[in-house]
Each structure stands twice: as C-alpha cells, then as structure tokens.
Chain A
Amino acid sequence: MMLGSALGRPENWRMYYKETTRQMTDIGIGSLVIVILISVFIGAVTAIQFAYQLNGTLVPRYYIGYIVRDSTIIELAPTIICLVLAGKVGSNMASEIGGMRQKEHIDAMEIMGVNTAAYLIRPKIVAALVVIPMLVAIGAFLSIMGGYLSTVPTNIMSDAEYVQGVRSFFLSKNVVMMFVKAFTFSFLLTSISCYQGYYVKGGSVELGQASTNAVVFSDILILLADYLIAIVLT
C-alpha cells in the first residue's frame, strides 16, 4: 500500500527532483568513505586468504587474481556493501522518516495536500537505485585493487601474475549479476527502512526499534534475495 502511494503522481516534479538529488548526495557521497574502506580491505583479505589456501598446491598463483575478481564481483561487493549500507543508510532513513512522523511533520505535509509517501519515499528509492549500484561498481574495482595492494608489494605474487589472473576467464554475465544484486538489494533496503520509519508509532524507544528493525529485516531479506539470485542466475 505504501509503495502504491509512493508511485502516485508528484504534486511538483521540481521538488521531487530536488529531493532525489539531495538523497543521491546523501547516500552516494555520504557512503563513499565507508565503501572505499570496506572494499579495499575485502579485496586485500580475500587475496591473502586465497594465497594462504593455495600455498603449496598445484594451482597457479595467478588464480588468486581471478578468484579475487570473481568473488568480489559476484558476491562480496554487492552483498557486503549493501549489508553495510542497510546499517548506515537504512537506519538513517528509518530514523529520519520516523522522526518526521513523531514531530507531526508528516501530518503537516498531509494537511497541505502533499502525498507524503510519494514525496518522502520515492526520492529515496530512486536515489538508492541510481547511486548504490554505482557504489557497488566502485567497490568491486577497489576490491580488486585491494587484492593487488596486499599481494604484489608484499611479494606474495608478481604484478604480471595478478594482472593475468584478473584478466583470465572473464564472463560479462557476472557483471550483470552484480548489478542485478545491487539493484535488488538497494530496493529492499530502502523500501524496508522507509516502511519502518513511515509507520512508526509511540516515542523514542519505538523509533529506536524501528531503526533496528530496518537494519535487521533489510539484512535478512538481502541475504535471502542473494541466495535466490544465485540460484536463478548461476
């Protein structure tokens, strides 16, 4: 029902556009640092772990680059980044909308004739659908760079081996899967978080619970969706 209202006709396209760009900035720029940090470390740790696992086996070293690339693109970048964003962006959305509900801001807008579900929720969903896949793509790239930084300067493998691995067995289908996951997870985390905030009742304790629920339910559904997409697309 909430999503139905959120798709209603905007009262003023310019206001919606402004709000959407504001949300894009908040989600995108606001999450860039955490995404960079997580991505670099994911790639670095994945490379070191696989180097350790493959040490002494007959598997060529350059496979480390290949494994880092594919595990990052297929799974780690979209899933881990979206799980973290569910905590950062999702809880923020639930608190923001829930706070507006409690301070009667939403009532004030309703009385003015604003379709509050559309004005408060749609820009967030649209912004997330545009920005989060970009963050995931940046994250995947940085993760591969993180793998390079953790293995090449430390002489675990050579520059040529890592690059060879990253360039081997590339399937563009995996990139499609990454974006499918990123879009799905973005939609889930924003719609669940907005729902939790929009229908909050009571005081600060309930607002805290709504914020927690936003993160917990988003995480659970992201993991479930991850499993389903993996089944369907592999």
Chain B
Amino acid sequence: MIKAENIVKTFEENEVLKGITCEFHAGKTNLIIGRSGAGKTVLLKILVGLFPPTSGKIWYDDVDYFSLDKKQLRAIRAQVGMLFQGSALFDSLTVEQNIRFPLDMFSKMTAKEKLSRVNECLERVGLTGKNKSFPSEVSGGQQKRVGIARAIVLKPKYLFCDEPNSGLDPKTAILIDELIHDITVENNITTVINTHDMNSVMEIGDNIVLLHEGEVVWRGNKDSVLRSENETMENFVFASPFLQKIRESALAK
C-alpha cells in the first residue's frame, strides 16, 4: 500500500497540490484522474520520489519515503517499476537490452538467467521474439509493452504508470490496460496509474482518485462512477453528449 498524507507542492508562488491525502492499495489498479493541469503528474512524480513535496508525507507500507537515507532509498527503489508516458526506452539499446538493464545493474543473475527472465517478461507482454529489435523498430503500443516488461523485470512491489494509453488507438489502449491490470492482480502489486482515459476509468478503475485544481474532489471505483453525483466528476467523465447518453442508458437498466 502507498499512502499520500497531506501533500502540498508549490512551484515558486504556484501551489499545484493543496494537501492531498489518499491511499493506493495492493493488488488493485489505483487511478489518479483529472483534467490537464489538475496536478496528476506532479502527484505521481512525488509518489515515485522524483520530486520532494513542499510538505506532507508519502508512506510505502510503513515506511516514510522521504525520511529514508540513500541506502534505504535504493532498497525501496529496487521494488519500484515505472512506465513512462513516452515509454523512456533507451534508443541505442535493443528491446532485450532495455529490459535487461535493471537486471544488469542490480541483480547477481548469470547471463543465462537474465535472458530467461527477459524472455519471460517479453512473453508476458506478448512480444516474444522481439529481443533484437530497437525501440524505433516497434510500434507505439509495443514500446509501451516493452516499457511494462522493463518495469516488471525486477518483480516490483509498486508499479507506476504515467498516461499509459496516450497516443494509442482504442483497441491497443484496452490491451495495455488489461495487461497492467492482470499483472497487478497476478503479482499483488500496488499499481498507481495517472490517466484521463475514460476507457481506463471504466475498465480497470478499482480505486479512483479525482484531482481538481490540486485537490482530491472525489474518491470511488469504476462501479460508483456512473452513480456519482459529484459535479466535477460528472463534468470530467461525462463531458461529451455521447458519454452522457451511455450513462443515462446504463442507469436506466
């Protein structure tokens, strides 16, 4: 479990997060949603430790993340995987080398064991045989899968995904969502996803936090979205007439 406790983040005069408190549970896909500029990415970067908060605490289970020394921090980070919006794959390395990078850096496995683990991850994300391709030689959806494979290669306890569906067609986006959800459940990972994709909200939103202007304005899950009477939530999720119709027909049933 990861817990954010009264997180405030200020950039110069601009207060981006205004006392965020929320919990993200193990074995569930936890979604941070909100409009552009709501503070989702800043919150995710604080959760993952890339930014320190101006005030407040982040708990990884019982550990206060920002009070750790370098050695303890390294130990925690070995349990963290992250999928970036742009995948952040190393261009000059092959798919196999990208996935193997964390193993090369941190594990004491033999070359054979590493290859076996890489192939296991590639198989899990449906990219068997793509070992020798370079990131530029695979599609955007496949790059995301490679990113997922790299994020899970060290068997993380915590997985963070920043807009995993951005730039993908709806079908591929659903496949990526399902993949992340399945991996989360199979391995009891605490997964935190930053998204504004409505399919993700309705498909894999086990625990949803809605941010608006740096504050949490709604909490729930995919089942409670349809019945939410929160105005900000309604304006965000059912912004288009098409989605409003879907909501009305779903409620009518």
Q: Which residues of A contact B (CB under 8 A)?
A: 11-12, 14-15, 103-105, 107-108, 110-114
Contacts and interface: CB of A to CB of B under 8 A. Distances in A.
Contact of B88 (A12, A15, A105): A105
Interface residues on B, range: 20 to 34
B251 interface: no
B80 A114 contact: no
B77 to A, nearest CB: 3
A15 B101 CA distance: 9
B74 interface: yes
Contacts, number: 51
Contact of A108 (B73, B84, B91): B84
B239 interface: no
Given A12-B104, A15-B105, A113 B78 contact: yes
B56 interface: no
A24 B91 CA distance: 20
A11 B106 CA distance: 7
B88 A104 contact: yes
A112 B104 CA distance: 12
Nearest to B107: A12
A108 B78 contact: no
Given A110-B49, A110-B77, A111-B77, 13 more contacts: A11-B74, A12-B105, A15-B105, A104-B88, A105-B88, A105-B90, A107-B88, A108-B82, A111-B160, A112-B102, A113-B77, A113-B80, A113-B106
A114 B74 CA distance: 8
B180 interface: no
Nearest to A110: B50
State the main secondary structure of chain B at its contact with A: mixed
28 contacts: A11-B74, A11-B105, A12-B104, A12-B105, A12-B106, A14-B104, A15-B105, A103-B86, A103-B91, A104-B85, A105-B88, A105-B90, A108-B88, A110-B49, A110-B50, A110-B77, A111-B48, A111-B49, A111-B50, A111-B80, A111-B81, A112-B77, A112-B101, A113-B73, A113-B78, A113-B80, A113-B106, A114-B105
A107 B78 contact: no
A107 B44 CA distance: 13
A159 B84 CA distance: 66
Contacts of B77: 110-113
B104 A15 contact: yes
Contacts of B49: 110-111
Nearest to A11: B105
Contacts of B102: 112
Contacts of B91: 103
A107 B105 contact: no
A128 to B, nearest CB: 20
A113 B104 CA distance: 13
Contact of A104 (B86, B101, B104, B154): B86
Interface string B102-121: 10111000000000000000
A110 B70 CA distance: 12
Given A105-B90, A107-B50, A112 B84 contact: no
Most buried by B among A11, A12, A104: A104
Contacts of A14: 104
A112 B88 contact: no
A112 B151 CA distance: 9
A104 B78 contact: no
A106 B58 CA distance: 22
B106 A107 contact: no
Contacts of A111: 48-50, 77, 80-82, 160
Contacts of A114: 105
Contacts of B101: 112
A112 B86 contact: no
A112 B90 contact: no
Contacts of A107: 50, 84, 88
A69 B208 CA distance: 74
B186 to A, nearest CB: 22
Most buried by B among A14, A107, A111, A114: A111
B145 to A, nearest CB: 16
A112 B98 CA distance: 12
Interface string B146-158: 0000000010000
A112 B78 CA distance: 6
